[in-house]
Amino acid sequence: MLQCRQILQGRYQLQEKLRNSRSKQTWLAVDCTQPTTLVIVKLLFFSDVTEWEELKLFERQAQVLKEISHPQIPQYRDAFWLEARSPAYVLVQEYIPGVSLQQWHQQRLSESQIRQIAAQVLYILAYLHELHPPVIHRDIKPSNLIWGDDEKVYLVDFGAVQNCDALGATFTVVGTCGYTPLEQFGGKAVPASDLYALGATLIHLLTGTPPAELPQHNLHFQFAELVNCSPALFSWLQKITEPAPEKRFTSARQALAALESGIVINTAAVVNNSGTGGLFDASISVPEEIQNWNWGAFLLAPFWLVSNRVWIGLLSWFPIFGFWMAIALGAKGNEWAWKSRRWQSIEHFQQHQKRWAIAGIVSGIAVNLVFWHLGMLFLVSIFL
């Protein structure tokens, strides 16, 4: 194992162990070629428990840091293999004197402090996201933001960074619960994923409560009663932490412009007008998220109509109308079901329809073939 005062690569003398885990260590060290210069030395040790993904992420971190340059991101210094009893891959970075924002978790920051932190991090994200290809940090949280002695905010720990040529492709799932948006847990991080993580971090710093411990409603953080801030900042935080990435700011620069404008953003949630009836009343709005084909209604029309209370679907029980009613329910089923029954939320509605779609794919084709066959026999019997 490594010891204090040990020199690596004939250059970096270890001073203090800052972090230690199963296969990783982080040290504060001195660059012996510049005795007054402190650096951060990160090591990934190889053993039977080291996973291949860990090595890929560690190497990617070194590669990305080597290629980027921003005054509020610790500079890349060196990377090498350490041949020893416990071989390791080593990354050396610039040391930033300061404190992690995680150390402020027991105090609530003021609105002016939150705005200052937000603006600085957004400048950093604008730089990263506008690179070609874009760089996505994927793990923004209080412990990865350093408040420097120079009163600037620094973004550190690029261990989960994604440098991709095609946004939206599937990558390794990384992140921290509470700060990571759903799409990232699905393996598809986009620049808006970093914006969500920043928003969750700022809510933590503003409320003093980790986002994973905050109450939620339809996946939205409920923190109004825990803060005393301007309506403009509150609405901005709501916008940047929207569960759906397409409803967040489109870029870090747009988020920064909105923050600096001081304008209250309209973040009113979609009104739950389900169960109002009026299947053919075009004046009753239906959420855009559900306006698509309903496979459950199409494939299991005679049964789907009962749980969704779309009674016009009873026509599907009559062989002569069965096929045409199934098509109508497939096309209009979501709209009619939304209007016919009261739903807790859009998410509740979508989960219900998803279960019907699975059931329809598994067994609905056979069921409909029987009904449609009976319909054809009925028609034949009429004309013969």
| Domain match, 174 and 207 both | yes
- Is pLDDT above 80 for 38? yes
φ/ψ region of 219 (left if φ > 0, alpha if ψ in -120 to 50, else beta) reads left
- Which is more confidently placed, 366 or 95? 95
Position 167 scores a pLDDT of 42
pLDDT of residue 173: 60
pTM summary value: 0.68
Does residue 38 fall inside a structural domain? yes
Residues 229 and 102 in one domain: yes
Q: Which of 15-19, 51-55, 75-79, 150-154 has the lowest mean pLDDT?
A: 51-55
Helix axes 319-340, 365-383, angle to 10 degrees: 130
Q: Which residues pair with 383 in a beta bridge?
A: none
Lowest average pLDDT, out of 171-180, 289-298, 324-333, goes to: 171-180
Claim to verify: residue 241 and residue 152 sit in the same structural domain: yes
Instruction: Please report the pLDDT score of residue 383 as a whole number.
Output: 63
Is residue 25 predicted with pLDDT exceeding 80? yes
Q: What is the pLDDT of residue 126?
A: 96
Q: Percent of the chain, pLDDT > 70?
A: 88
Q: Which of 245, 261, 277 is the last residue of a domain?
A: 261
Check whether 321 has a pLDDT greater than 80: no
The number of domains in the chain is 3
In the prediction, which pLDDT does 111 show?
Answer: 95
Task: Specify whether the CB–CB gap between 61 and 55 falls below 8 A.
Answer: no
Does 139 participate in catalysis according to the annotation? yes
What's the mean pLDDT in 291-307?
A: 86
| Mean pLDDT, residues 221-242 | 93
Pair (29, 80) in one structural domain: yes
Selected residue with higher pLDDT from 200 and 296 = 200
173 and 74 belong to one structural domain: no
CA-to-CA distance for 256 and 373, rounded, in angstroms? 61
Please indicate, yes or no, whether residues 112 and 238 belong to a single structural domain of this protein: yes
Provide the pLDDT for residue 274: 83
Q: Which of 286, 299, 290, 302 is nearest to 352 (CA)?
A: 290
Predicted pLDDT of residue 290: 85
pLDDT of residue 363: 77
CB distance 146 to 98 below 8 Å: yes
What is the per-residue pLDDT across 118-147, written as a single tens digit (0 to 9) for each?
Answer: 999 999 999 999 998 999 999 999 999 999
Same domain, 256 and 312: no
Catalytic one of 31, 48, 139, 150: 139
pLDDT at 166: 42
Q: Which domain holds residue 228?
A: 98-261
Q: Is there a contact between 19 and 25 (Cβ–Cβ < 8 Å)?
A: yes
Residues 160 and 296 in one domain: no
Regarding whether 204 and 108 lie in a shared domain, the answer is: yes
Are residue 16 and residue 69 in the same domain, yes or no? yes
Q: Is the per-residue pLDDT at 376 higher than 80?
A: no
- Tokens 């004309």 — which residue? 383
From start to end of 120-163, where are the E strands? Answer: 135-136, 145-148, 153-155, 162-163
List, for residues 237-282, the tens digit of each pLDDT value.
999 999 999 899 989 999 999 999 988 887 654 456 788 888 888 7
Residue 168's pLDDT band (cuts 50, 70, 90): very low
Domain assignment of residue 269, yes or no:
no
Over residues 170-199, mean pLDDT = 85
